[in-house]
């Protein structure tokens, strides 16, 4: 019998999976002070004849809001956003579309107002799912998307897609994305990856024109360095930078985050749980299946790298279990306290994980406590790169 366990959507199909076990264990820990960032949708547990389950009745609702950008570029959103990508792209097997639409509605009901997708997720299919699930909430939420790859004529063309941020490609993408998302305006439009062949000033200028035309409201950039941000911001004020950021990847702390604070730009960490690794649900025997799961090609998800990097998960577990919170909540909580302009966008296909993520806002710890965690984590050497060489070329530091 194989000792590999199939891994789908950051947890096993077995209800007694590792993440749930660790979550239940953490909840026996010492309770911490509760913030006012969340309000329970039910103040006490009681038997009900309602069609809603008791679990649904006790689900948290986000109250805290944060602002990305400033002045004309300002955009108020929930303190936690939601990444749509994993609902049908890059994360293995998926529940059916109806289930994902139902979950997306639940996310909205719980107070989340920031939803993230991209043209290249699929390509196109993730935007289409977001359109079906979220179009009815126009005016109540913000759906953000991204351009930057060569899908000329809205076709897959060469795969993997090469960078293309030419003005005509940006415009073509915006028109197509508006239709796929079934919206009238894109609340926040990111350049997904920088294009070495197109000056960032031209990119920012094109988005500036689209904002003037009423097709886009705000401008963002993904995985770019400080110099690129400054150049773009001088043409069109940037609302947010989206880059990978978590306890296993902190490169943005050197230049990008200080610049965001200086210029009044928001920061949106993607993969805040490192693609499920910072939940305790993954070990060296985890199998990601084949096909639609990019962790199969990521250097940090080889068995050897996973085995070596589990030390950081152990530190987060140690921190959380004495404070009554899960590994995932430790990882998200650490991000949330780093700066008031940071809005992580964890994704999930599980209602239980949605609740777990939202409950992160229940807990507050002093800066000294978080500093102790950082000190412990900094002693651990992270093994392997986050991307293969081909993708590493597409990101700036």
> What is the rounded end-to-end Cα distance, in angstroms, of the chain?
44
Phi-psi sector, 214: left (phi>0), alpha (psi -120 to 50), beta: left
Both structure tokens of 125? 């299919």
Give catalytic residue positions.
Answer: 121
Per the listing, tokens 């412990």 go with: 376
Of the CA atoms within 13 Å of residue 67, those in its CB half-sphere come to: 8
List the Cα angle 181/184/189 in 5-degree steps.
65
Asked whether the beta carbons of 113 and 142 are under 8 A apart, the reply is: yes
With helix as H, strand as E and coil as C, how does the chain read? CCCCEECECCECCCCCCHHHHHHHHHCCCCCCCECCCEEECCCCCCCCCCCCCHHHHCCEEECCEEEECCHHHCEEEECCCEECHHHCCCECCCCCHHHHHHHHHHHHHCCCCEEECCCCCCCCHHHHHHHHHHHHHECCEEEEEEECECCHHHCCCCCCCCECCCHHHHHHHHHHHHHHHCCCCEEEEEECCCCCCCCHHHHHHHHHHHHHCCCEEEEEEECCCHHHHHHHHHHCCCCEEEEECECCECHHHCCHHHHHHHHCCEEEEECCCCCCHHHCCCCCCEECCCCCEHHHHCHHHCHHHHHHHHHHHHHHHHHHHCCCCCHHHHHHHHHHCCCCCECCCCCCCCHHHHHHHHHHHHECCCHHHHHHHHHHHHCCCCCCCCCCHHHHCCCCC
């Amino acid at each position: 019998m194989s000792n590999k366990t199939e891994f789908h959507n950051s947890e096993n199909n077995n209800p007694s999976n590792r993440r749930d076990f660790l979550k239940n264990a953490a909840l026996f820990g010492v309770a911490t002070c509760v913030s006012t960032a969340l309000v329970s949708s039910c103040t006490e547990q009681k038997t009900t004849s309602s069609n809603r389950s008791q679990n649904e009745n006790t689900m948290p609702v986000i109250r805290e809001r944060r602002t990305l950008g400033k002045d004309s570029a300002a955009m108020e959103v929930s303190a936690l956003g939601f990444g749509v990508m994993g609902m049908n792209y890059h994360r293995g097997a998926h529940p059916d579309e109806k289930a994902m639409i139902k979950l997306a509605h639940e996310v909205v009901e719980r107070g989340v107002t920031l939803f993230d997708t991209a043209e290249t997720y699929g390509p196109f299919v993730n935007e289409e799912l977001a359109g079906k699930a979220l179009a009815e909430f126009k005016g109540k939420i913000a759906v953000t998307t991204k351009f930057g790859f060569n899908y000329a004529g809205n076709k897959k063309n060469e795969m993997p897609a090469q960078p293309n941020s030419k003005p005509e490609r940006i415009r073509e993408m915006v028109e197509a994305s508006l239709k796929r998302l079934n919206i009238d305006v894109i609340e926040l439009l990111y350049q997904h990856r920088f294009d070495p062949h197109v000056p960032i000033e031209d990119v920012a200028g094109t988005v500036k024109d689209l904002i003037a035309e009423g097709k886009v409201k705000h401008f963002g950039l993904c995985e770019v360095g400080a110099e690129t941000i400054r150049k773009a911001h001088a043409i069109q004020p940037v609302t947010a930078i989206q880059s990978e950021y978590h306890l296993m990847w902190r490169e943005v702390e050197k230049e990008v985050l200080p610049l965001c604070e200086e210029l009044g730009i928001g920061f949106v960490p993607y993969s805040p749980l490192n693609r499920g690794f910072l939940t305790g649900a993954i070990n060296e025997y985890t199998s990601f299946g084949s096909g639609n799961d990019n962790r199969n090609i990521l250097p940090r998800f080889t068995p050897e790298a996973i085995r070596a990097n589990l030390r950081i998960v152990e530190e987060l577990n140690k921190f959380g279990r004495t404070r009554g919170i899960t590994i995932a909540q430790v990882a998200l909580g650490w991000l949330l306290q780093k700066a008031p302009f940071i809005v992580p966008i964890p994704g999930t296909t599980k209602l239980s994980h949605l609740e777990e993520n939202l409950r992160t806002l229940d807990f507050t710890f002093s800066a000294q406590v978080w500093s102790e965690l950082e000190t412990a984590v900094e002693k651990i050497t992270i093994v392997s790169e986050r991307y293969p060489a081909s993708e590493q070329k597409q990101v700036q530091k």
